[in-house]
Structure 1
Amino acid sequence: MVCASHWRREGSAVEALLRLQPALLQQGLTNGARTALLSSQDWLVQWHEGAAGAVTAQRDMVQAELGLDAPRLLHGSVGPGTLSEPVQIASLQVVEQAADVARRLQFLERQHEQGWDAGPAEVWQALCAPCQLGNWKPALVGRREVVAVASEDNDAEDLLRSLAARSGARVVYQRYAGSDVQRRDLGAAYMDLEHADSATTRVQALSRRALASGIELLGLRQLDRLVVLLNPQTLGQPGLLDEIARLIGRLPLRPLVHLVSPCAATRAWGMQALRGGVGLPVVPLAAPHTGQGAVQAVADLLASH
């Protein structure tokens, strides 16, 4: 079940969802349900999987605890589950009005009533990572390709902001958390680019910590290319490359990997580590892993779509 409710609240949506997380997790571990919650403007989207009674119990707890309006049904089906954890939380932070979210919900609601056969993950993706190019339609998300830029710390997000400033694109920020109640929520960001041939590219920035969590909450069920910004100071240290290997192992299709570093030894080490870990061919790129040199290198990659 995927449904959405108008949410009248005070304070941070993420903090409210994190406060609900332990009780929802406990109930889910008891009844076997899995739940994902998405806050977007004044709306809350719920995605529940499990036995019918368990799904209803999860929905009812969320509705009661958060004081939500009656939910709109966006998707309902019987089939294998998709969610990877008992409870996951996401928040979309973009400059738009609640009415923009309402229009997306109305579109999805009508499509469901008319028999649209989209799965729950497609419905979720249309809401958790809507296209920023105008004339919104679910199919526009990552229509041509999805490129993720990953780094040890915040270099990927800094690079994304610089790319957006160059192209005039809008950066959208996301927050999300998994079932570990001891960990805080994590951040990510994305932007959409339209090319001269009307093709589109989604560019997503991810940190090492973000890679370790459920990236399906960010709408990243498919990656066409993965650009890894590798700091020479991490040479020989486990960390980012381990998370990259685990991420690739979870994806249904393996992306082309570009390894960016100014250091030849670091590039060679990274290529060997990824080839040995996931058996992938890796394309090395001799360029800075941060700053304007990295921005130019990634811009050139995107232009070669």
Structure 2
Amino acid sequence: MRSILQDPDSSSWPDSGAELSTQDVGRLIYASISAVDGPVLDEMRRIRDHAVVHNAEHGLRVALMHKCGWFVEWIEGPMAGIHALVERVALDPRHRSLKVVHESVGQPRLFKPWIGSIAQSTESAGEFARRVMALHERHVRGKGYEPASVWRSLCSPLPGHVEVAAAREGTYQRVMMMSARQTGAFDLLRWLAHETRGRVAHRRFAGSVHDALDVESDYLDLPDQGQQGRRLIANARKGLAMGVTHAFLPDHAAVVLLLDADAGQSLRLLERLLVVCQQVRHRPAIIGLGADGWFVPELQTATETRGLPWLEARTGDGEPKHARLWGALKTVLDRLG
């Protein structure tokens, strides 16, 4: 899945209408060992093309992840349609050893017909399998976690064993970072990883054929910061049109906008972000980050008019270096708690 430079023109999500559904849906997540013979990326694209057409007939929306030689699929929609899909998957030669790790009825999170992802990991297939089984056993005992927590614990886990990670879910500070121009958020994340001797986790997301093109989203864990840890997630601007952003934005305490000297660029990115926040009915703190001259009153006015808090992480005059950017940002994030 390749990254491209251009952004989509809007952050709308026409597949799901203008409003979130208030009706509960069936929700199921399973993990299965991949038996794909050949490039996984090619197979993921074939799965996408089939799923976008056929799942819509049954009111299903799906997120599919490939990691450590496993598939993880999150399905939402009518429970009868979910069970029929799982039965078909169980017979599919591309999968084996299917384990259900979550099943419930509740508020939907997936509002695009299909989201696909391939995640890099230093974890072995055996280690991943142990986390799958831990979640499966909790599900069988009726002590499972919420679907978003289950998905994250497999696809982008917090540091530590699944039980330790789950205990930190509610207090781990998640912060999305986006840059108004070029790749500033990703550059800052890589610099910070080098400074803290941390490891950047790389993910690639693909949407449905009517969605945004493939995008990158990297993250870095800082387990000793915040109340019980902090995760910084660098997102591409075009990711605002992706279903995965809509699904997980409600779990973010803040969104950082790395501003640009061109105020028009900053305002355009902010407007797209504010639209997405309205669509998912989430009010994270919006943090402007950059040199003093990059801030204009319209940024605060636009944010607060939409009912979201506006915070500023200023670095002073001149072109800021990574150390100054992080120093200013960390001060604001520490105040958020």
Match of 2:194 among 152, 159, 165: 165
Partner residue in 1 for 2:5: none
Distance in 2 (alpha carbons) for counterparts of 1:163 and 1:53 = 47
Distance in 2 (alpha carbons) for counterparts of 1:197 and 1:206 = 21
Given the alignment of the two structures, is residue 88 of structure 1 paired with residue 115 of structure 2, yes or no? yes
Distance in 2 (alpha carbons) for counterparts of 1:10 and 1:155 = 38
Distance in 1 (alpha carbons) for counterparts of 2:225 and 2:58 = 51
Partner residue in 1 for 2:57: 30
Alignment of 1:174-189 (within 5 A): 174-181=203-210, 183-189=212-218
Partner residue in 2 for 1:195: 224
Alignment of 1:25-174 (within 5 A): 25-60=52-87, 62=89, 67-132=94-159, 136-141=164-169, 143-152=171-180, 153-174=182-203
Determine which structure has greater relative contact order: mean sequence separation of CA pairs < 8 Å that are 6+ residues apart, divided by chain length: 2
Partner residue in 1 for 2:310: 282
- Cα shift readout 1:140-196 (whole Å, capped 9, x = no counterpart): 346332122111332111111111111122211111122235743211011111227
DSSP 3-state at the match of 2:262 = helix
Distance in 2 (alpha carbons) for counterparts of 1:182 and 1:271 = 30
Shift of 1:218: 7.6
Match of 1:270 among 283, 289, 299: 299
Match of 2:329 among 283, 298, 305: 298
Distance in 2 (alpha carbons) for counterparts of 1:289 and 1:32 = 48
Match of 1:259 among 259, 284, 288: 288
Shift of 1:12: 4.1
After superposition, the Cα gap between the structure-2 partners of 1:13 and 1:181, relative to the gap in structure 1 and judged at 3 Å, is: farther
**TM-score, normalization: structure 2?**
0.79
Equivalent pairs, count: 304
Shift of 1:82: 2.8
- Cα shift readout 1:23-48 (whole Å, capped 9, x = no counterpart): 11111121211111111110001112
Amino acid aligned to 2:138: Q
Partner residue in 1 for 2:20: none
Distance in 1 (alpha carbons) for counterparts of 2:246 and 2:92 = 22
Distance in 2 (alpha carbons) for counterparts of 1:151 and 1:51 = 38
* Conserved 8 A contact 1:48-1:59: no
Amino acid aligned to 2:253: D
Amino acid aligned to 2:215: L
Distance in 1 (alpha carbons) for counterparts of 2:47 and 2:334 = 44
Choose 248-257 or 115-124, whichever is displaced more.
248-257
Amino acid aligned to 2:151: W
- Cα shift readout 1:30-80 (whole Å, capped 9, x = no counterpart): 121111111111000111222344223433555556611031111122344
* Conserved 8 A contact 2:175-2:233: yes
Distance in 1 (alpha carbons) for counterparts of 2:170 and 2:233 = 10
Partner residue in 2 for 1:245: 274
After superposition, the Cα gap between the structure-2 partners of 1:142 and 1:90, relative to the gap in structure 1 and judged at 3 Å, is: farther
Distance in 1 (alpha carbons) for counterparts of 2:177 and 2:110 = 24
**TM-score, normalization: structure 1?**
0.87
Choose 285-294 or 36-45, whichever is displaced more.
285-294
After superposition, the Cα gap between the structure-2 partners of 1:160 and 1:77, relative to the gap in structure 1 and judged at 3 Å, is: same
